[in-house]
Amino acid sequence: MPDGNDSTMVEFEDAITYPLEDDDWLSTIGIGGGLFVVNLAVVGVGLLVAAILSLVFVGVALFPLVILLGVAITLPVGGYYMAVLRATIEGDDDPPRFEDWERLFEDGLIPIAVSLVYTVPLVVVLVVVGVLAALGVGIVTTLGGDAAVVGGLLIGSLGVVVFSLVVAVYVTVMPYFVPISMAIYAHEGDLRTAFDHDRITQVAFTKAFAIYWTIAFGIQFVAGQFIGLLYLAVIGVFLQFYLGVVTVRLYGLGYVAAMDLDSAD
């Protein structure tokens, strides 16, 4: 791994070529991209069949099953990304391989679990807004009159506005904190520690992690402008996996820099 005196640009170049550093890189990218291909095929066909069967009220229950199957197929990819994080944090410059499939499936649940935990506050806000809206309707129904109608509408509208603002802010900042929790888990191996406030802020409010995260975001944003078209040529799914590895590598490098792990070693 580049030492602390190297520039961010050097480490950026390291991240871009990182997936190719293993002699068996073609196999790794083939497996990762191949899982995306299988996922697209299975989910696509499954949703089509479910849609057809739903016309006779049989296929409705298949929709969630198809989605769950799609998630299960790509679990090893999430597990591989976690392995990349772990290797980066441990100072291993060699990309991991798709070998320990049991662990890949298990670790693939971590990004999902972390994302779900971060959605809890949104659910809480939604419940609060729902209660406020119900109160507004209750006021209108119980009291009647123009004043009650206006009051009820104001309460309901205020709830919607608050919820919209919270969602806007949360959706903006959540992608920044999710990889931090993933990196903490990869480092410590404990899900509770991944949500430790002190550890999260220790990483989040550093210039180092902010820079690496911004670079990773920029790569994903630029690639997102054309990667969809490449899906038509199949190569897009393999590029998606490749860029995913690069992005996670950058998250790991940012975490290492923020925690000053190079100096600790």
Q: Report CA-CA distances (Å) from 32 to 40, 64, 196, 244, 248.
A: 13, 24, 31, 10, 14
176 assigned to some structural domain: yes
pLDDT at residue 2, rounded to an integer: 46
Query: What's the rounded mean pLDDT across residues 131-143?
Result: 68
Domain range enclosing 143: 117-192
pLDDT surpasses 60 at 10? yes
pLDDT reading at 172 higher than 70: yes
Q: What is the pLDDT of residue 110?
A: 96
Average pLDDT score over the chain: 86
At residue 158, the pLDDT reads: 74
Nearest to residue 198, comparing CAs of 127, 261, 259? 259
Q: Which long-range contacts (CB under 8 A, 24 or more apart) does 19-28 make?
A: 19/95, 19/242, 19/245, 19/246, 21/93, 21/94, 21/95, 22/94, 22/95, 22/97, 24/97, 25/95, 27/97, 27/98, 28/95, 28/97, 28/98
142 has pLDDT over 90:
no
Distance in angstroms (rounded) separating the CA atoms of residues 213 and 183: 12
Higher pLDDT, 89 or 236: 89
What is the pLDDT at residue 151? 66
Tens of pLDDT along 19-71? 999 989 999 999 999 999 999 999 989 888 888 877 766 667 778 888 999 99
DSSP H helices in the chain = 8-17, 25-54, 62-89, 101-107, 109-143, 145-188, 197-204, 207-224, 227-231, 235-259, 261-264
Question: Residue 218 above 70 pLDDT?
Answer: yes
Q: Give residue 184's pLDDT.
A: 97
Indicate whether 216 belongs to any domain.
no
Residue appearing with tokens 């293993």? 22
Q: Could you count the other beta carbons within 10 Å of the beta carbon of residue 174?
A: 14
Residue 131: per-residue pLDDT: 77
Is residue 232 assigned to a domain?
no
Q: Hey, how many other C-beta atoms are within 10 angstroms of the C-beta on 259?
A: 20
The residue ranking higher by pLDDT, 143 or 62, is 62
Residue 22 identity (one-letter amino acid): D
On the 0-12 / 13-18 / 19+ scale of CB atoms within 10 A, 7 is exposed
In a domain, 143, yes or no: yes
Rounded Cα distance, 101 and 122, in Å: 33
Structure confidence at residue 1 (pLDDT): 46
Dist. CA 35–CA 38, nearest whole Å: 5
The rounded radius of gyration (Å) of the Cα atoms in the chain is 23
Question: Residue 207: inside a domain, yes or no?
Answer: no
Higher per-residue confidence, 144 vs 98? 98
Selection from 81-90, 169-178, 213-222 with the highest mean pLDDT: 81-90
Give me the number of domains the chain comprises: 1
